[in-house]
Amino acid sequence: MSTVESVGVGSGARNGGSVWTLLKQAIQGSEQDYTEGPLNRAVFLLAVPMVLEMAMESVFGIVDVFFVGRLGPDAVAAVGLTESFLTVVYSLALGLSMATTALVARRIGEKDPEDAARTAVQAIAIGVAAAVPFAVAGVLWSRELLQLMGAPSSVVDAGWGYTAWMLGGNASILLLFLINAVFRGAGDASIAMRSLWLANGINIVLDPCLIFGLGPFPELGVAGAGLATTIGRSVGVAYQLRALALSGRHLRVGRRHLVFDGAVALRLLRLSVGGTGQFLIGTASWLGLVRILTPFGAAALAGYTIALRIIIMALLPAWGLSNAVATLVGQNLGAGKPERAERSVWIAGVYNMTFLLAVMALFLWSAEPLISLFSSDPEVQRIGALCLRVVSYGYAFYAWGMVLVQAFNGAGDTVTPTWINFFCYWLFQIPIAWMLARSFGQGPLGVFLAITLAESVIAVVGLVVFRRGAWKRKVV
């Protein structure tokens, strides 16, 4: 079978019902065995809830910036600087989630749900432990952390409360990612999607109430956005825990699993070290980019922050589709079907590229109107629109890069993407951004060009390594 032969959703409909029937199954969840049957149908059933899940994750940031933008550039800059610290938390969350998805998917593929449930429990325990130092730092030293990033006093005064709430409640971020990784690995992607719907619904209601003091709520300013987001995510985690015990179709956690299992925990930690390092290298490079942008003023930071939120809103659904690849690769390798695992990567890659090319067209034509939704400041709008356009030029490459990275991760090969990220981000992106922005006088444009170049190089290198096929022989 050729790599493109299985792509059309129409063929999936012929093998498993109409498109609307498949869409309903994807959202409601099903008993689908993802190691059997038409691959395009499997990609569709997994990708739809994962795309919606990741779209909902991006809504947290978009909603915060939408309302905080009414408070001025200093407030938006504070949100952007706090996000720079949260990239470390996201790195841990994504790295641990990648390891969790890989192990759970492999065990499900091997028809071993008991070991999959034990893996889920150990992942949750590790996530709670990892959240503690960030919470302490956020509660005790939020002002100092913003000052460390070079923030002026006006930004520190406006945003320290937001930093305290977001870092203080970071356990909700870690657990939301980790437990959803369990559901994705097991093939219960619809449950993960619904947990994000619930969390976002609460955040959307509470954000304006706590920021502006609507009705009986206190007026907390930008700190209210942090509190609303933390409450929303925490409710989402409570829903996840209930579903993990009662609603999973492919995996359920019972009392017998609530014990420490050293062998499973060690296996998870060993795998997550590479995954955490991989995402830490990648996301910490964004912190470096923020530091390069800081001397260009609050408007540059605010424009970049708004543009980044919009970019993430577009890329997270693409990551959701890529997450379907991680599940399919893990489960099919566990079932002893490496060729089926490889075909799933090509199918998802074509879907992803088609989607992101459409997003690129939207950004090229509508950059200014999109930024103006979040800020009325002309300079913020100019820089934000410039960022949207320049970064979108590489979207065809990004699409394949995302899918290939998740293919490696789903196979349990976390080392390869780690090295690719290290060379392409720290030895290429950061130096190029510094030289273009500072030495060549390009300012923020230099940073945006460096992002596009680095992400494109990652995709090309990933494709070369993927074609070699060593990931098919990875044992986890």
pLDDT along the chain (476 residues), means of 10: 40 53 71 78 82 74 80 84 82 84 89 88 92 93 87 84 93 93 86 88 93 92 92 95 82 85 84 78 79 86 86 80 87 89 92 94 92 88 93 91 90 88 91 92 91 92 91 79
Could you tell me how many residues make up the chain?
476
Contact 102, 278 (CB under 8 A): no
Answer whether residue 163 is part of any domain: yes
Q: Whole-angstrom Cα distance, residue 306 to residue 77?
A: 9
Answer whether residue 2 is part of any domain: no
Contact 390, 442 (CB under 8 A): no
Q: Whole-angstrom Cα distance, residue 138 to residue 466?
A: 40
- The encoded tokens of residue 220 equal 């907390």
Residue found by looking up tokens 């209210």 in the block: 224
Q: Whole-angstrom Cα distance, residue 364 to residue 391?
A: 10
pLDDT of residue 452: 93
Give the type of residue at 8.
Answer: G
pLDDT of residue 58: 66
Q: Whole-angstrom Cα distance, residue 166 to residue 172?
A: 9
Q: Give the count of domains, the chain.
A: 1
Q: Whole-angstrom Cα distance, residue 58 to residue 369?
A: 19
pLDDT of residue 16: 45
- The encoded tokens of residue 225 equal 């956005």
Residue found by looking up tokens 């990220």 in the block: 421
- The encoded tokens of residue 435 equal 């030289």
pLDDT of residue 15: 46
Q: Whole-angstrom Cα distance, residue 374 to residue 356?
A: 22
Contact 476, 412 (CB under 8 A): yes
Answer whether residue 4 is part of any domain: no
Contact 414, 274 (CB under 8 A): yes
Give the type of residue at 19.
Answer: V
Residue 50 backbone dihedrals phi, psi, to 5 degrees: -70, -40
Answer whether residue 1 is part of any domain: no
Range of the domain at 231: 9-473
SS (H, E, C) the chain: CCCCCCCCHHHHHHHHCCHHHHHHHHHHCCCCCCCCCCHHHHHHHHHHHHHHHHHHHHHHHHHHHHHHHHHCHHHHHHHHHHHHHHHHHHHHHHHHHHHHHHHHHHHHHCCCHHHHHHHHHHHHHHHHHHHHHHHHHHHHHHHHHHHHCCCCHHHHHHHHHHHHHHHHCHHHHHHHHHHHHHHHHHCCHHHHHHHHHHHHHHHHHHHHHHHHCCCCCCCCCHHHHHHHHHHHHHHHHHHHHHHHHHCCCCCCCCHHHCCCCHHHHHHHHHHHHHHHHHHHHHHHHHHHHHHHHHHHCHHHHHHHHHHHHHHHHHHHHHHHHHHHHHHHHHHHHHCCCHHHHHHHHHHHHHHHHHHHHHHHHHHHHHHHHHHHCCCCCHHHHHHHHHHHHHHHCCHHHHHHHHHHHHHHHHCCCCHHHHHHHHHHHHHHHHHHHHHHHHHCCCCHHHHHHHHHHHHHHHHHHHHHHHHHCHHHHCCC
Answer whether residue 190 is part of any domain: yes
Q: Whole-angstrom Cα distance, residue 120 to residue 240?
A: 12
pLDDT of residue 320: 78
Rg (CA), the chain: 21
